[in-house]
Amino acid sequence: MEMLLQIEGIDASYGKRQILHEISMNLSRGEKVLLIGPNGAGKTTLLKTVIGLLPPGNGAVNYLGEDITGDSVRTRVRKGISYLLQTENIVPGLTVEENLALGGYFLSKQELEKRKNMVLDSMEFLKPKLKTRAGLMSGGERQGLALSMILMRNPKVLLLDEPSAGLAPKAAKEIIERLDKIQAAFQVETVCMVEHNLKLALKWATKIILLVQGRVVLVSDSPKSFIQQPEELEKYFFEQV
Ligand SMILES: Nc1ncnc2c1ncn2[C@@H]1O[C@H](COP(=O)(O)OP(=O)(O)OP(=O)(O)O)[C@@H](O)[C@H]1O
Ligand SMILES: [Mg+2]
């Protein structure tokens, strides 16, 4: 499998407090990676270093064989890496249409229109809501909009931080089940998702990475085996914390 994103020995800190310790992982073309771990393990922090919101103290991020550790967030987004924030990922006071335009802020007017139509074909529930203020929609619709904003950027790598957080079970199921279709329709090469909803996410993933206290403690290429033996995963979760 061709390597897309390579994370090499990342350390990251907030002030003096080190959160990530020598994190290394590879995301290959076609892979669907589920990043799990207890609250505070450093999952969001890791995604932030990959997208460039937090500079690592040590280590490197390579994308398609190129060292992008020094690139700004904007440059990384233009290169094809996009990140769904865990919170505050839409602008509630703007309409759905305005939010989509914000998602594709660097596109020409013509490209924006084309891309918007493409996104709406996959996210059909947003079509009748284009003029609705985003903050007035349900949680599921807002998360769908947040994902749509990212798709406006033609991403090759999608980093999703708990897309189903705070959603009702039905909406959570819908958003995760929609991912495969989206990945195919938009030719997204790889997705790395943080998700606490293990039952749903293990069905989706081709690889799991478990992070505990800022370290990788398990990498498995057979995530589906954990659906049958959830206690195995719990063992890692609870014994290593
Ligand atoms: N901006 C910040 N400044 C200082 N410390 C932070 C900051 N953001 C997170 N932390 C701390 O870093 C550690 C890792 O946090 P992080 O948000 O990466 O965890 P997480 O695995 O995403 O957790 P969750 O499952 O709750 O989202 C936690 O101890 C947290 O308190
Ligand atoms: Mg988090």
Can you list the domains of the chain with their CATH numbers? Answer: 3-86+158-239 (3.40.50.300)
| Separation of alpha carbons 177 and 175, rounded Å | 6
Ligand 1 probe mutation, 34, 43, 49, 195, most atoms within 8 A of CB: 43
Following CA atoms 191, 105, 145, 47 in sequence, which dihedral angle do they give, to the nearest 10 degrees? 30
Look up tokens 């085996």; give the residue: 225
- The pLDDT, as a whole number, for residue 100 is 97
- Interval between CA 14 and ligand 1 midpoint (Å): 9
| Separation of alpha carbons 123 and 54, rounded Å | 31
- Interval between CA 207 and ligand 2 midpoint (Å): 19
User: Which tens digits make up the pLDDT trace of 178-188?
Assistant: 899 999 999 99
Q: Where would I find the beta strands (DSSP E) of 58-214?
A: 58-63, 66-67, 81-84, 157-161, 190-194, 207-212
CA atoms within 13 A on the CB side of 109: 0
Which ligand sits closest to the CA of 53?
1
- Does 190 sit in the ligand 1 pocket, CB within 6 Å? no
DSSP output for 78-90? HHTEEEE-SS--S
Comparing CA positions, the residue from 141, 198, 202, 201 lying closest to residue 168 is 141
Which ligand sits closest to the CA of 211?
1
Which ligand sits closest to the CA of 36?
1
C-alpha dihedral sign at 173, 179, 181, 185: positive
- The pLDDT, as a whole number, for residue 239 is 66
User: Which tens digits make up the pLDDT trace of 33-47?
Assistant: 999 999 999 999 999
The pTM of this model reads 0.93
Residue bearing the CA closest to ligand 1, atom 17: 44
Comparing CA positions, the residue from 145, 240, 147 lying closest to residue 193 is 147
The atom number, within ligand 1, closest to the CA of 46 reads 18
Residue bearing the CA closest to ligand 1, atom 25: 39
- The pLDDT, as a whole number, for residue 166 is 83
CA 33-35-41 angle, to 5 degrees, is 165
pLDDT average per 10 residues of sequence, the chain (241 residues): 91 96 95 94 97 96 96 94 89 97 92 95 94 95 94 94 89 90 94 92 95 94 86 74 49
- Does 40 sit in the ligand 1 pocket, CB within 6 Å? yes
Ligand 1 probe mutation, 19, 36, 196, most atoms within 8 A of CB: 19
Look up tokens 């590879």; give the residue: 26
Q: Is 207 helix (H, G, I), strand (E, B) or coil?
A: strand
